[in-house]
Amino acid sequence: MQHALFLDRDGTINYDPGYLKDTNLVKLYPYVGEGIKRLKEKFNFKVIVVSNQAGIAYGILTNDEVIAVNEKINLLLSEYDTSIDAFYYCPYHPEYNSEEESQCRKPSPYMIVKASEEHNIDLNRSYMIGDRSIDVLCALNAGVKSILLQHGNDNTEINSLHNLSKKPNFVAANFKEACDFIVKDYSEESN
Which of 10, 85, 131, 135 is catalytic? The answer is: 10
Which of 8, 85, 131, 135 is catalytic? The answer is: 8
Instruction: Rounding to the nearest 10 degrees, give the CA dihedral for residues 67, 7, 60, 30.
Output: -90
**CA atoms of 102 and 37, how far apart (whole Å):** 32
In the chain, the domains with their CATH numbers are 4-153+167-177 (3.40.50.1000)
Percent of the chain residues topping a pLDDT of 70? 100
pLDDT tens-digit readout, 155-168: 999 999 999 999 99
Given this model, what pLDDT does residue 148 score?
98
Determine whether 10 is an active site residue: yes
pLDDT tens-digit readout, 133-188: 999 999 999 999 999 999 888 899 999 999 999 999 999 999 999 999 999 999 99
Given this model, what pLDDT does residue 144 score?
98
Given this model, what pLDDT does residue 22 score?
97
| AA letter at 119 | H
| Low-confidence spans in the chain with pLDDT less than 70 | none
Determine whether 8 is an active site residue: yes
